Amino acid sequence: MPKSIPLKERPIDYIYLAFFFVNLFFITYIVDLEQIVIKDPSNFDYPFWPLPFFIDMVHWWGTTFDPLQWFRPVWWQATIWLDVLIFGPFYAFAIYAFIKGKDWIRIPTIITMSILFTNVTIICSEEIWGPTPALNLPLVLLANAPWFLFPIFLVWKMWKNSNPFTK
Q: Answer yes or no: is pLDDT of 167 > 90.
A: no
Predicted local confidence at residue 100, as pLDDT: 97
Q: Is 139 exposed, middle or buried (0-12, 13-18, 19+ CB in 10 A)?
A: middle
Predicted local confidence at residue 125, as pLDDT: 97
Q: Could you tell me if residue 165 is inside a domain? A: no
Domain residues for the domain of 116 are: 7-38+47-159
Predicted local confidence at residue 107, as pLDDT: 98
How do residues 80-139 score in pLDDT, each as one tens digit?
A: 999 999 999 999 999 999 999 999 999 999 999 999 999 999 999 999 999 999 999 999
Predicted local confidence at residue 87, as pLDDT: 98
Q: Could you tell me if residue 151 is inside a domain? A: yes
**Are the CB atoms for 70 and 62 separated by under 8 Å?**
yes
Q: Indicate the DSSP class of residue 166.
A: B
132 φ/ψ angles, rounded to the nearest 5 degrees: -120, 70
Strand partners, 4: 166
Q: How many CB atoms lie within 10 A of CB 124?
A: 19
Q: Could you tell me if residue 133 is inside a domain? A: yes
Total tally of structural domains belonging to the chain: 1
Rounded to the nearest integer, the mean pLDDT of the chain is 96
Q: What is the dihedral of CA 65, 70, 72, 78, to 10 degrees?
A: 60
What is the residue type of 53?
A: F
Q: Could you tell me if residue 167 is inside a domain? A: no
Q: Report the predicted TM-score, pTM, of the whole model to 2 decimal places.
A: 0.94
Predicted local confidence at residue 2, as pLDDT: 78
Q: Could you tell me if residue 85 is inside a domain? A: yes
d(CA 46, CA 52): 6
For the chain, what percent of residues have pLDDT higher than 90? 98
Q: Could you tell me if residue 139 is inside a domain? A: yes
Q: Could you tell me if residue 138 is inside a domain? A: yes
Predicted local confidence at residue 1, as pLDDT: 74
Q: Could you tell me if residue 141 is inside a domain? A: yes
How do residues 146-163 score in pLDDT, each as one tens digit?
A: 999 999 999 999 999 999
